[in-house]
Amino acid sequence: MENKKIIFSGIQPTSTPHLGNYLGALKNWVAMQDEYECVYSVVDLHAVTVRQEPAKLRGQIAETYALLMAMGIDTEKTVLFVQGHNPHHTQLAWLLSCYTGFGELSRMTQFKDKSEKHSENINAGLFTYPVLQAADILLYQADLVPVGEDQKQHLEISRDIAVRFNNIYGEAFTLPQAHIPLGCGKVMSLSEPRRKMSKSDENPHACISVLDDRDTVVRKFKRAVTDSGSEIVYREGDDLKAGINNLISIYAAVTGKTVAETEKEFSGKGYGEFKLAVGEAVADMFKPVREEYARIAADKTHLISRMRDGAEKSMKISAKTLKKVCKKVGFLQL
Ligand code: TYM
């Protein structure tokens, strides 16, 4: 790779990507392609830390990959691959797990949340999930990792593991930094605005899927939970205003306007009118993605060939790091 900074990020194919994924991460994935060397992955190995139905998972991996292309990930200039197609990830993850403390993994909030939610299946993969994520990032010597706020802790542990390894063996890994968007690093649920929008939310009105049709998007925004007030004003840190704050942040991110411009535009107007405007803006934003997705998903042969190409390109890059690391720890090279 040339002297451009390297970007790595991943998304789990656990269901159709949503508005939070898009504004928190995927929009930046697309935008960063011109300036940086980007490597993006559909992280199927992470997805099986929670039970998945095999046929459904297969479909979702292909859907997520095609949706990323539909959003504008250009597989000619960017490496887009399915994590499980590149065995270097699990290889490095094993190695890094020997440089990761039980204590530090126990402190991961995602592990605590997920083990509460899936108490019937608290498996070792769920526990070592952040080590695989560190391997994803470090294999490509990534400088920046575009993610939402919820991934901050996983980025910190990735850095900690890299620093520890580098301190023992000398420079092996670039230290990665999280790249989190201002304003939309944490998009909240439309029905419980004090919780983040999440794929696993059981309430269908809480979450906007990238593939929701226009009427569904607008209807969900009309039903979005706000408060008994009426002014479209952003109140930082005011829990009672979490719903309207969220809608203002979404509208600003989608239209490219500032919060102040948004407040001005809707001064004197009520919540109802504003919710409709946010819904329409989001539906307009996703319309071309939906159309492009239908086109890309229809050509399975092309999709598979893009995946194959992505896997090969990713392996070429990751092999270099893996080789270097194996040498440093003292594995006998043939
Ligand atoms: P995942 O699949 O949960 O989410 C994909 C991306 O979407 C962001 N995101 C959000 N951003 C704003 N508001 C929300 N409500 C919201 N929900 C999700 C996430 O922060 C993420 O950037 N562990 C990762 C996948 C992963 C990864 C990696 C990421 C595996 N390896 C290496 C970066 C680098 C995850 O579960 O993302």
In angstroms, what is the span from residue 50 Cα to ligand 1's centroid? 15
pLDDT at 166 > cutoff 70? yes
Strand extents, DSSP E, the chain:
6-11, 37-42, 79-82, 144-146, 177-179
What tens digit of pLDDT does each residue of 76-112 get?
999 999 999 999 999 999 999 999 999 999 999 999 9
pLDDT at 1 > cutoff 60? no
Q: Point out the ligand 1 atom lying closest to the alpha carbon of residue 12.
A: 2
Determine whether 196 is an active site residue.
yes
Are 149 and 185 in contact by the 8 Å Cβ rule? The answer is yes
- DSSP state letters, 19-83: HHHIIIIIHHHHHHTTTSEEEEEE-HHHHTTS---HHHHHHHHHHHHHHHHHHT--TTTSEEEEG
pLDDT at 32 > cutoff 60? yes
Atom 31 of ligand 1, nearest CA residue? 133
Residue 189 is which amino acid? S
What tens digit of pLDDT does each residue of 236-264 get?
999 999 999 999 999 999 999 999 999 99
Domains of the chain: 6-184+299-329 (3.40.50.620), 214-294 (1.10.240.10)
Q: What CA–CA distance (Å, rounded) separates 184 from 170? A: 37
What pLDDT was estimated at residue 2? Answer: 57
Phi, psi (deg, nearest 5) at residue 178: -70, 145
In angstroms, what is the span from residue 26 Cα to ligand 1's centroid? 9
The label of the residue with tokens 């050509």 reads 299
What pLDDT was estimated at residue 334? Answer: 87
Q: Point out the ligand 1 atom lying closest to the alpha carbon of residue 150.
A: 20
In angstroms, what is the span from residue 61 Cα to ligand 1's centroid? 15
What tens digit of pLDDT does each residue of 45-82 get?
999 999 999 999 999 999 999 999 999 999 999 999 99
Q: What CA–CA distance (Å, rounded) separates 154 from 160? A: 10
Number of H helices, E strands in the chain: 14, 5
Phi, psi (deg, nearest 5) at residue 120: -80, -10
For the chain, percent of residues with pLDDT exceeding 90 = 94
Atom 36 of ligand 1, nearest CA residue? 12
- Strand order of the β-sheet with 144-146 is 79-82, 37-42, 6-11, 144-146, 177-179
Q: What CA–CA distance (Å, rounded) separates 164 from 322? A: 17
pTM (2 decimals)?
0.97
